[in-house]
A and B are shown apart, each in its own frame.
Chain A
Amino acid sequence: MAAVDVSAAGPGHARSSRGASARLTVAQAAARGPARLDAVEVSAWFGDTQVLDDVSLSMAPAEVTALIGPSGCGKSTFLRILNRMHESVPGAQLAGEVRLDGDDIYASGHRLTDVRKHIGMVFQKPNPFPAMSIAENVTAGLALTNTKVSKSDKSDLVERCLVRAGLWNEVKDRLGRPGSALSGGQQQRLCIARALAVGPRVLLMDEPCSALDPTSTRRIEETIAELRADVTIVIVTHNMQQAARVSQQAAFFLAAQGSPGGIVESGSTADLFNHPSDPRTADYVHGRFG
């Protein structure tokens, strides 16, 4: 396996060791803990339209970073750049670097699939695999990444991930039932459990609560607070109160009419909400527009 990595790495031989480490067991991967994520001078385009311009942001390990801003300002695009989902859209391009613990994930030595394993994602709309049971949904990432796990380890992993996602007590008696039979909020927590099962060091969440009712939203927010110690979290949200509740760091994105989006201001959530340095941030967090 290592030989394959070296050849794939080309000139960047140093990368191959990281490529090999991607095949560590799930437990080991989780044990490595949260990682630091740095976006450096990121710009993005869809076709000829530039949607992000020169965005730099550091996302500290074991903290929750909230990305806020009005619709169409490039928050989701920025989030999708962080785990290389951006490039799956035809015509999508980008410039700049995204560094996972100092290592550029877009460097040629990195496999796309390994990057996404390290940096998990939870989507706006809950998307469990409908043909799979609850337990199979949790372990789907293992099957997708060809990670072999013994049967007992697998059931341990299912329990551990469902507990971490705050769903275990509700589903422990029906792990064999289809995941699509759960309620929307439960489905979203199942998706969080599924993302955790591959042992990511960073978890990206794209408006994870926007399709959920207030009770489910509260459960997800509790889950986020509990997960923070083990995994760096970046969350896009339209909900100012949610950003204030769950995050320690925040970045305010804004796009002027007809021009690409960028970060107006970033820093600790408390500062951003209480003492914004830019008047546009103040207007937004106080609900005067957006």
Chain B
Amino acid sequence: MTTTAAPVAAPKVPRTPRVIKPSLEGTDRLFHGTATSIGMFVLIMTGSIGIFLGYQAIPTLRHYGFSFFTQTQWQPELDKIGIAAVLVGTVEVALVAMVVAFPLALMMALFISDYAPVRIKSYLISAIDLMAAVPSIIYGLWGFFLLQPHAINLARWLSQYLGWIPIFHVDTDPNAAVWQQSRYTSSAFIAGLAVAMMAIPLACALMRAVFDQAPLGEREAAMALGGTRFGVARTVVFPFAKGGIIGGTMLALGRALGETAAVLIIISPAYIIKPRILEAGTQTTSALIAGNFGDATKSQLSALLAAGFVLFLITLVVNSLAAVVIRRSRSGATTEL
């Protein structure tokens, strides 16, 4: 026996979704409120730093106008102040760091996730984390005292063979019997190498975490087709982790752009737009601020804060892009049914 539903009379009023109140419990509401306010606090902090920097930058930008972005010199006593050279230097150091850090971080992450024996995997993960925890001043000292005396040989070799490319040119004779070592020191290249050491753990940790999430089913499918380990990485792990690879690299780039202490130790300041990364002398925004704010007058301080504001904006853009890419990667990894 089945019963047939009685015909329902047409509703007189158009149906509207009803309002559902979450009606949280006391503790839940307390936690909700605490979490919300802490979350807002982070946003307020970031926002107020930006507003502070922007506000402080106003007198400088008003005084120098657009020439603040085109002037290379930083000579407050001559009323010549601009960030053209330091921005180029900043980007150079960051790019050198990323060119070195990206392949190393990627391969390290792949080694830990796919090649390393299970026994040592956790030790390697801690070692990478430890690398991130070393203060940047230590990397600066390491770069200056240990790395630089050796890296100048590499720099000379590069300029010997690739000197015809403008970025590898050094304004001295690389083939001279007694070569001018000091021309190769304190360069964007060497500062970039030191910064790379700080960028690697950041990029590597994120990449490894994403590599580990690559679905076992797809990995096994690739193995069962006769794939080598690298074949599995190429077919399954890298496509899955594309977002993580890009995101990790950009986070590291954000770090590299702002790195101060190590750069300050290694470089010798030079306020010219110089594409020659191997040659002595460069300047980055953060090192400029760190090196000059101590004896700055009020107007000079405003100029330094204006430079800081520009760096803040660049880093904010890079990190926001990284966040977007990382978030996208999650959806790219799922199947759409």
Q: Chain B 213-254, CB within 8 Å of chain A: the 1/0 string?
A: 001011011111111100110011001100000000000000
Known: A130-B335, A180-B336. A125 touches B217 (CB 8 A): yes
- Residue of A114, A116, A131, A181 near B336 (CB, 8 A) is A181
Contacts of B232 on A, CB cut-off 8 Å? 144
B337 sits at the interface (CB 8 A):
yes
A117 sits at the interface (CB 8 A):
yes
Q: Is the CB of A198 within 8 A of B217?
A: no
Contacts of B335 on A, CB cut-off 8 Å? 130, 180
Q: Chain A 115-134, CB within 8 Å of chain B: the 1/0 string?
A: 01100110101011111100
Q: Is the CB of A116 within 8 A of B223?
A: yes
Known: A129-B218, A129-B236. A120 touches B337 (CB 8 A): no
Q: Is the CB of B225 within 8 A of A145?
A: yes
Contacts of B222 on A, CB cut-off 8 Å? 129, 140, 144
Chain B binder among A64-72, A83-91, A222-230: A83-91
A88 to B227, CA, bound (A): 13
Closest residue of chain A to B230 (Cβ to Cβ) is A144
Interface set, chain A 157-184, CB cutoff 8 A to B:
178, 180-181, 183-184
A128 to B226, CA, bound (A): 15
Q: Is the CB of A195 within 8 A of B218?
A: no
A128 to B240, CA, bound (A): 13
Q: How far is the CB of A128 from chain B (nearest CB, A)?
A: 8
A2 to B199, CA, bound (A): 44
Q: Is the CB of A140 within 8 A of B225?
A: yes
Q: How far is the CB of A92 from chain B (nearest CB, A)?
A: 12
A113 sits at the interface (CB 8 A):
yes
Q: Is the CB of B227 within 8 A of A113?
A: yes
Q: List 23 A-B contacts (CB under 8 A).
A: A85-B223, A90-B118, A113-B226, A113-B228, A120-B224, A125-B217, A127-B220, A128-B221, A129-B221, A129-B235, A129-B236, A130-B218, A130-B239, A130-B335, A132-B239, A140-B222, A141-B226, A141-B227, A143-B231, A145-B227, A145-B231, A194-B225, A198-B225
Besides A83-B224, A129-B218, A140-B225, 8 more A-B contacts (Cβ < 8 Å) are A113-B228, A116-B226, A120-B225, A123-B217, A123-B220, A127-B218, A129-B222, A141-B226
Q: How far is the CB of A137 from chain B (nearest CB, A)?
A: 10
A116 to B225, CA, bound (A): 6
Q: Is the CB of B225 within 8 A of A117?
A: yes
5 shortest interchain CB distances as A-B pairs: A117-B226, A144-B227, A131-B239, A141-B225, A127-B217
B333 sits at the interface (CB 8 A):
yes
Contacts of A114 on B, CB cut-off 8 Å? 226
A191 to B231, CA, bound (A): 18
A132 to B221, CA, bound (A): 13
Q: How far is the CB of B212 from chain A (nearest CB, A)?
A: 14
A178 to B215, CA, bound (A): 17
Closest residue of chain A to B227 (Cβ to Cβ) is A144
Q: How far is the CB of B115 from chain A (nearest CB, A)?
A: 13
Total A residues in contact with B, Cβ cutoff 8 Å: 32
Q: How far is the CB of B220 from chain A (nearest CB, A)?
A: 6
Contacts of A191 on B, CB cut-off 8 Å? 221
Contacts of A123 on B, CB cut-off 8 Å? 217, 220-221, 224
Contacts of A140 on B, CB cut-off 8 Å? 222, 225, 235
Closest residue of chain A to B232 (Cβ to Cβ) is A144
Contacts of B118 on A, CB cut-off 8 Å? 90
- Residue of B224, B227, B236 near A195 (CB, 8 A) is B224
A141 to B335, CA, bound (A): 20
**Central interface residue in B224, B227, B337, by most chain A CB within 10 Å:** B224
Q: Is the CB of B221 within 8 A of A127?
A: yes
A124 to B37, CA, bound (A): 47
Closest residue of chain A to B231 (Cβ to Cβ) is A144
Q: How far is the CB of B186 from chain A (nearest CB, A)?
A: 45
Q: Chain A 69-104, CB within 8 Å of chain B: the 1/0 string?
A: 000000000000001010010100000000000000
A128 to B228, CA, bound (A): 18
Q: How far is the CB of B178 from chain A (nearest CB, A)?
A: 48
Contacts of B332 on A, CB cut-off 8 Å? 131
A90 to B117, CA, bound (A): 9
Q: Is the CB of A183 within 8 A of B337?
A: yes
A23 to B140, CA, bound (A): 52
Q: How far is the CB of B165 from chain A (nearest CB, A)?
A: 34
Q: Chain B 117-144, CB within 8 Å of chain A: the 1/0 string?
A: 0100000000000000000000000000
Contacts of B225 on A, CB cut-off 8 Å? 116-117, 120, 140-141, 144-145, 194-195, 198
A181 to B220, CA, bound (A): 20
A254 to B222, CA, bound (A): 30
Q: How far is the CB of B125 from chain A (nearest CB, A)?
A: 16
A194 to B221, CA, bound (A): 9
Contacts of B231 on A, CB cut-off 8 Å? 143-145
A140 to B221, CA, bound (A): 10
A180 to B231, CA, bound (A): 20
Q: Chain A 127-157, CB within 8 Å of chain B: the 1/0 string?
A: 1111110000000110111000000000000
Q: How far is the CB of A79 from chain B (nearest CB, A)?
A: 11
Contacts of A132 on B, CB cut-off 8 Å? 239
Q: How far is the CB of B228 from chain A (nearest CB, A)?
A: 6
A194 to B332, CA, bound (A): 22
Closest residue of chain B to A142 (Cβ to Cβ) is B225
Contacts of B333 on A, CB cut-off 8 Å? 130
Q: How far is the CB of A68 from chain B (nearest CB, A)?
A: 22
Q: Is the CB of B215 within 8 A of A127?
A: yes
Contacts of A180 on B, CB cut-off 8 Å? 335-337
A67 to B276, CA, bound (A): 68
Contacts of A90 on B, CB cut-off 8 Å? 118
A145 to B224, CA, bound (A): 11
A85 to B216, CA, bound (A): 12
